[in-house]
Amino acid sequence: MSIAVLPAELLTRAERLADGGEPEAALNLLGPLLKTCPQALAIAVEASAAMGNYDDARRYADSLARAQNAVGSGEHSLARVRAMIVLSQLAWLEGHVSETWTLLTDARHIAASPVAELLVTTARAAAELRAERYEESIASAETAMAMARASGLGDALAARARDDSAVTLASCSATRPNPDEGQIAELDRLSHPATDLGAAARTRAINNSLVALLGQENLSDAEAWSLYDRAHARARLFGGKSLLSIARQGMDLAARTGDWERGWAIGTGHIATEASRSERVAIAAKLAQFAFARGLAAEAARWGRRAMSESTAIDVIWVRVYAYLGGVIAAAASGGSAEHALNEYGNCMSPTSHAQRAGRAWEAAEVALTAGTDAAVVVRFLDRVIPGGAVDNLCPAAKAYAQAVLKDHSGVDASSGELVAVGDRIGCRNAIWRATLQVQLVRAYRREGRHTAAVLALTEGQRLVDRWPGRLRDELRQLSITEVSQPPALSTRQAQILEFILEGASNRNISETLGISERTVAVHVSEILARTGHASRTALAVAELRRRLMG
């Protein structure tokens, strides 16, 4: 194959188009020269991957590997290094972890220039971050930054590598427990459309910035959705349908804010076009969760099974967790053995890996509890998957919630004071957690004879699940039916007087307003009390206001 050199300005323009969210335009610009120029083929690999066309990316990479080098080994090896880095990213997305590391190792072996070595080191730092090898990732990213500074590399590829390493360093600090607020701000800055990042680095900056920002305490629902919408707009601005996990975060946010329809729409809309099999596994598991919450047993089982089947031969830990979570949901929804599914979940990875994902273990446990699995079985599961206690590995708000749910399912009655304290720890973090807690509070208030407080808890619970149809909302409605009395059968005049009583008016005030005697008012009040069964005006007013509050 004869190799020609494209004009530098044309390559630069194509590179900018690919990085600027126009990968298809970049490919069109390169056109027939894709067969003759290694740099063009490298850009084509990256652009195809950004569009989600993985097969095309591999085809261009194969052409590059077969090409004979007529313009110098350094130029051709650099193009191959770029292609192999993209292929390593695709291997990860498809769940082939060992292939990811093999491709990066092979890329390092053929790197014949300082820029190529810098690109490989940068790519390795990003891969180590995905693998949650945080300390190794930081070390690799810092090495890449030092390489760039020491060599004085100034071309566009070197600048891209420096920026990519900056994203990795910020992500390591911003997305871990107890994140650095300065690094969260830096990651948010890097995700801004005005920054000159490569496509892959920009995608990671957008995703990881959203993760970090949504993890902030005391974030209102409106603020959280505003952050999501902004990230989604940034992702759409730069096009492409691969390498983005925004759908997962959107579904998590919908569950957290109690917006079932929005979460379901995000999941079903995204899974149909998602090129990454790993992402499809995660989204299928989340759709199973949504269906289970709504009481759609057949749908929950179908999506749970799909999560399991899509995960075949994927060896990425976080994907495996979603797959087996889908298995627990499928078993719970279809009347199978949730206990067996929990055991399978426990066996899917090591206790260390489980400890890093205690939240997912709790999600599996809560599904099993909802399906009627004995609380003792669930507690044993949690103790087995994370020695020392899965619940203890949760964040403080999640830990308080999990302990309250386990106590409730174990048949232990908590006092209203204890449950209010749990609510204080949860704060505004999760609408569904708070609504679940309201159910327990209603029962506690009833045990304590505090029926007005019970009505207020019911009202708050119903507000929280107004957009979350299914099991929880049905339970709150059932509780409200047993709490609310029928409206009293009163005459027109008595109903009129009742309104004044609710406003705290005295008999004299009522008589003067209605133009009737105070004695007549007293007779009507006595009749109202007799018909409603209350001993005093205060008791009558409280009961009637309570009834109306629930009505």
What are the tens digits of pLDDT across the range 179-224? 778 888 888 888 888 777 777 788 888 888 998 888 887 788 899 9
**Of 483, 502, 526, which residue constitutes the final position of a domain?**
483
Asked if 518 and 477 sit in the same domain, the reply is: no
Q: Collect all residues with Cβ–Cβ distance below 8 Å to 244 and sequence separation of at least 6.
A: 203, 206, 207, 235, 279
Counting other chains too, the contacts that 135-138 makes at CB distance below 8 Å and 24 or more residues apart are 137/168, 137/172, 138/168, 138/169, 138/172
Asked if 514 and 541 sit in the same domain, the reply is: yes
Asked if 429 and 463 sit in the same domain, the reply is: yes
Residue 69 has pLDDT above 70, yes or no: no
Range of the domain at 442: 412-483
Answer whether residue 462 is part of any domain. Answer: yes
Asked if 448 and 498 sit in the same domain, the reply is: no
Residue 306 has pLDDT above 80, yes or no: yes
Q: For the stretch 386-417, what's the b/e string if a residue is b when 16 or more beta carbons lie within 10 angstroms of its beta carbon?
A: beeebbebbeebbbbbbbbbbbbbeeeebebe
- Angle CA 462–468–471, to nearest 5: 80
**Of 434, 460, 483, which residue constitutes the final position of a domain?**
483
Most distant pair of Cα atoms in the chain: their distance: 112
pLDDT average, residue stretch 112-120: 90
- Cα 354 to Cα 345: distance, rounded to the nearest angstrom: 10
**Of 465, 483, 501, which residue constitutes the final position of a domain?**
483
What are the tens digits of pLDDT across the range 250-292? 999 999 999 999 999 999 998 988 777 888 999 999 999 999 9
Mean pLDDT of all residues in the chain? 86
Asked if 426 and 456 sit in the same domain, the reply is: yes
Asked if 422 and 470 sit in the same domain, the reply is: yes
More confident residue, 437 or 543: 437
Confidence label for 497 from pLDDT (cuts 50, 70 and 90):
confident
Asked if 474 and 499 sit in the same domain, the reply is: no
Answer whether residue 20 is part of any domain. Answer: no
Confidence label for 2 from pLDDT (cuts 50, 70 and 90):
very low
List Cα–Cα distances, 86 to 114, 168, 334, 538, in angstroms: 19, 16, 41, 73
Asked if 472 and 512 sit in the same domain, the reply is: no
Answer whether residue 267 is part of any domain. Answer: no
Confidence label for 73 from pLDDT (cuts 50, 70 and 90):
low
- Cα 137 to Cα 265: distance, rounded to the nearest angstrom: 35
Q: Collect all residues with Cβ–Cβ distance below 8 Å to 275 and sequence separation of at least 6.
A: 52, 53, 54, 93, 241, 242
Residue 37 has pLDDT above 80, yes or no: yes
CATH number, position 536: 1.10.10.10
Number of domains making up the chain: 2
- Cα 330 to Cα 190: distance, rounded to the nearest angstrom: 40
Percent of the chain with pLDDT over 70: 93
List Cα–Cα distances, 126 to 91, 151, 270, 397, 544, in angstroms: 14, 21, 25, 30, 62
Asked if 420 and 437 sit in the same domain, the reply is: yes
Asked if 436 and 479 sit in the same domain, the reply is: yes
Answer whether residue 35 is part of any domain. Answer: no
Answer whether residue 478 is part of any domain. Answer: yes
Return the structure tokens found at 504: 């705290």
pLDDT average, residue stretch 223-243: 78
Return the structure tokens found at 42: 């490298």
Residue 484 has pLDDT above 70, yes or no: no
Answer whether residue 283 is part of any domain. Answer: no
Answer whether residue 164 is part of any domain. Answer: no
Return the structure tokens found at 366: 């809560």
What are the tens digits of pLDDT across the range 9-36? 788 888 888 877 788 888 888 887 777 7
Asked if 428 and 471 sit in the same domain, the reply is: yes
Answer whether residue 367 is part of any domain. Answer: no
User: Of the candidates 162, 169, 203, which has an alpha carbon nearest to the alpha carbon of residue 186?
Assistant: 169
